Amino acid sequence: MSENSRDTFNLTIALPKGKLFDPAKTLLEKCGFSYPGLSDEARTLIFEDKERGVNYIICRPTDIPTYVEHGAADLGIVGKDSILEAGKNLYELVDLKFGYCRFAAAAPREVLAADGTFQWRQGLRIATKFPTVAKEYVRKKGLQAEIIKLHGNIELAPRVGLADLIVDIVSSGRTLKENDLVALEFLGEATARLVVNRASYRLKSREINKLVADIKRVLETEGGECS
Amino acid sequence: MSRDNFHIPPGMRDWLPGEAYRKRELVNRLLAAISLWGYEEINTPLMEYYQVLLPGENLCGPDHLYKLTDRDGRILALRSEMTTPIARVISSKLPDQYPWRLMYGGEVFRYEEIQTGKQREFCQVGVELIGEEGPEADSEVLAIAIEALQAAGLDDFTISLGHTGVLKSLLENFTADEAQLNEVRNLLLEKDFVGLGNCLLEAGMQKEKAEMLLRLLTRQFSARELEQLPVDCRPEQSQVQSQVQGQVQAQGKQEPEQLLAEWLPELADVFADLRRTLAYLKLYGYDRYIQVDLSTLRSQEYYTGMVFEIYTPGIGYTIGGGGRYDELLRHFGKDYAATGFALGVERILLSLAQDKNQTAAQTQTPLVLVAGTDPGRVVQKARELRMVGQRVLMQLEKLTPLEAEARAQAKGAVLDWCGDGEDDAR
């Protein structure tokens, strides 16, 4: 192990496309990691900041745990929802506090009893983008259910009779309302996290620790609770 | 034969010519390096009784064993690691003449999700030093691991050194609630530091303590830094540490070790143990490979002291790991201290494959194709070449020199042509 290799600032960071991208980019900028043109809407998915020796990979949020677990990226910023679903071997270092959402089980209003309760029973069909989370949920409830994996627009499933209820992430609750779905129970909360590959965590500890310390400082000065 | 018969079970793999050679060559090199330390090879069956192997599995959650039943209805399992079978052998078949220095190289099976570098059948080379306690033995196995990897041609690796005493002390001083203890253990094993922080707070730990603890667990010390950190943990720091921890200190917070040591007195023992181990490693000059990381844990529950994992750039997983397991032998009715490690052969191969110089160095000796007009001379010549260690292909059919040359080329061999009467005219 040469001491020199430690001195080259050499990190690959995976960033999620979509709603977490902008807050993630802003946070990194505050920590001194800014790169002109870094965008999740550009044609390119890799940005190389040669000056600082930092590579950015832009990918789907659900793929970030995979990139980081395999070490294709040293670090990633991703929602806890994707981490839970992926079940990968990652080090979860910092709660970044943005991208708050909740897992909810929701059913169409029309199937609820007059007092608003839902008749839980065996053999329910549950549509979800998060089969792992949904399975764990029904297991804890002591139910057997058929989990139907969909890739998007879960709210459609109960309306066309594909499923009795859905398990999905809810941030404002507007989608549920628009589709006349009622949240029955909340399964847990999720925010964006900084995840790290287990080997990088050891081999690039100095760079990573510095970034983590910077992120924590930014979060603290912004009044967020730091874990 | 139907095409279905071409499949092999998920997580298994065929080792084709070249690959198989490199794998065996690596295993041999690792074992040769280890045997220089006076370790003797031991072999155990691939298949054992299920109960025998259980101590090597996680206590919570499903085990990862491949199970089958024998004709008497007893449950068997394929070994998932070598330490437990060796503990069984020591306890039942070897006279009480400890210490034992044993090494092994063999396949183990684990029913796990398949991914790159994580197959269900894989090869481990490792050592067990049984019947010796303390940092003397721990530093010995660490030094062997380092020299074995060096012998394999790997030099750029880091050993992450931890101690189960950290978790133990935390659990003992924290709560008696079994469910919470398990949760803390799992969160730490999964390195979910966010979840761990939340869990500690929910269980009623003071925020300050939880933060200190997390800071200690997410911090890495070089051997030198650990040495300079006094046992009673006064807030003296090396320069490197000050750099890393600068921000934290700027906020006027106390050194985590100091407060934690008051709160978790066992930590002082942990630090002392690690420090003595590192002091021995320094005698070899190997402390440079070590990084102390107190969050290092192994998934097996039998570890009782120092534990370590080995990482190398380019591979997102550990390439090996081990630690002290003083209680495992008790499962088999003996009370021997023990320490050891296992290296993942496939992962080391992956790492070596990324290094061009290494791949070149690992090719076999050149192949010679012997052909000629007189089969008797061909046999004779081939035999002579084999006697001096050449790898020889023979061609007894009558070929023209041109045909022979073409065949040699097709096999990547050098032609050795036995002409008429004359000595080989290559």
pLDDT tens across B81-120, in order?
999 999 999 999 888 888 999 999 999 999 877 665 578 9
Q: Find, in chain A, the residue whose alpha carbon is nearest to that of B246.
A: A213
| Nearest of A215, A99, A95, A132 to residue B201 by alpha carbon | A95
Distance CA B275, CA B161 (A): 11
Q: Given this model, what pLDDT does residue B182 score?
A: 81
Angle between helices A205-221 and B239-250 (to 10 degrees): 10
Q: Given this model, what pLDDT does residue B250 score?
A: 40
Angle between helices B266-284 and B164-174 (to 10 degrees): 180
Q: How far is B313 from chain A (nearest CA, A)?
A: 7
pLDDT tens across B337-365, in order?
999 999 999 999 999 988 766 555 556 78
Contact state of B193 with A205 under an 8 Å Cβ cutoff? no
CB pairs under 8 A between A and B: 89
**CB B339 within 8 Å of CB B88:** no
Q: Given this model, what pLDDT does residue B234 score?
A: 35
Q: Given this model, what pLDDT does residue A4 score?
A: 39
Contact residues on chain B for A188, CB-CB shorter than 8 A: none
Distance CA A123, CA A164 (A): 10
b/e map B270-301, b = 16+ CB within 10 Å? bbebbbebbebbbeeebbbbbbbbbbbbbebb
**CB B152 within 8 Å of CB B34:** no
DSSP B221-283: EEHHHHHHS-TT--S---HHHHHHHHHHHHTTPPPHHHHHHHH-THHHHHHHHHHHHHHHHHH
Q: Given this model, what pLDDT does residue A225 score?
A: 43
The residues facing B322 across adjacent strands are B308, B341
DSSP B394-408: EE-S---HHHHHHHH
A1-5, A203-207, B274-278: least confident range: A1-5
Q: Given this model, what pLDDT does residue A6 score?
A: 36
pLDDT tens across A19-65, in order?
999 999 999 999 988 888 888 888 888 998 888 889 999 999 999 99
Distance CA A198, CA A68 (A): 9
Amino acid at B172: E
pLDDT mean over B359-373: 78
Amino acid at B187: L
Mean pLDDT of chain A: 88
- With tokens 């809810």, the residue in question is A170
Determine the Cα angle at B221 with ends A11 and B306, to 5°. Answer: 115
B92-101, B240-249, B302-311: least confident range: B240-249
* Cβ–Cβ contact B365 with A under 8 A: no
Q: Find, in chain B, the residue whose alpha carbon is nearest to that of A94.
A: B194
Angle between helices B193-202 and B178-190 (to 10 degrees): 160
pLDDT tens across B125-176, in order?
999 999 999 999 999 999 999 999 999 999 899 999 999 988 888 877 776 6
Q: Given this model, what pLDDT does residue B65 score?
A: 92
Contact state of A205 with B312 under an 8 Å Cβ cutoff? no
- The ipTM is 0.74
Q: How far is A64 from chain B (nearest CA, A)?
A: 14
Which residues 73-102 in chain A show a CB within 8 A of chain B?
80, 89-95
| Nearest of B113, B157, B294 to residue A70 by alpha carbon | B113
Q: Given this model, what pLDDT does residue B252 score?
A: 43
Contact state of B192 with A5 under an 8 Å Cβ cutoff? no
**CB B304 within 8 Å of CB B82:** no
Instruction: Check pLDDT > 70 for residue B1.
Output: no
Q: Given this model, what pLDDT does residue A10 score?
A: 86
- For the record, the structure tokens of B61 come out as 């959650």
Pick A226 or A67 by higher pLDDT: A67
Q: How far is B293 from chain A (nearest CA, A)?
A: 8
- C-alpha of A208 from chain center: 20
pLDDT mean over A159-170: 93
The residues facing B386 across adjacent strands are none
- For the record, the structure tokens of B113 come out as 């999700």
**CB B4 within 8 Å of CB B66:** no
**CB B103 within 8 Å of CB B127:** yes
Contact residues on chain A for B317, CB-CB shorter than 8 A: 71, 198-199
Instruction: Check pLDDT > 70 for residue B233.
Output: no
pLDDT tens across B189-213, in order?
888 898 898 888 888 888 888 888 8
Q: How far is B167 from chain A (nearest CA, A)?
A: 17
Q: How far is A218 from chain B (nearest CA, A)?
A: 11
Farthest CA pair distance, chain A? 71
Amino acid at B248: V
Q: How many other C-beta atoms are found inside a 10 Å radius of the C-beta of residue B370?
A: 29
A54-59 vs A11-16, strand pairing mode: parallel
A75-79 vs A11-16, strand pairing mode: parallel
**CB A85 within 8 Å of CB A137:** no
Q: Find, in chain A, the residue whose alpha carbon is nearest to that of B243.
A: A210
Contact residues on chain B for A93, CB-CB shorter than 8 A: 193-194, 218
* DSSP conformational letter for B82: S
Distance CA B57, CA B55 (A): 5
Q: What is the CA radius of gyration of chain B?
A: 27
- How far CA B285 is from CA of A135, B126, B143, B146, in Å, comes to 51, 22, 10, 11
B392 burial (CB, 10 Å; 0-12 / 13-18 / 19+) is middle
pLDDT band of A2, cuts 50, 70, 90: very low
Tell me: cis bond preceding B9? Omega within 30 of 0 counts. no
Phi, then psi, of B68 in degrees rounded to 5: -150, 165
**CB B245 within 8 Å of CB B237:** yes
pLDDT mean over A154-161: 91
Strands ordered across the beta sheet of B367-372: B391-395, B367-372, B413-418
A40-44, B50-54, B248-252: least confident range: B248-252
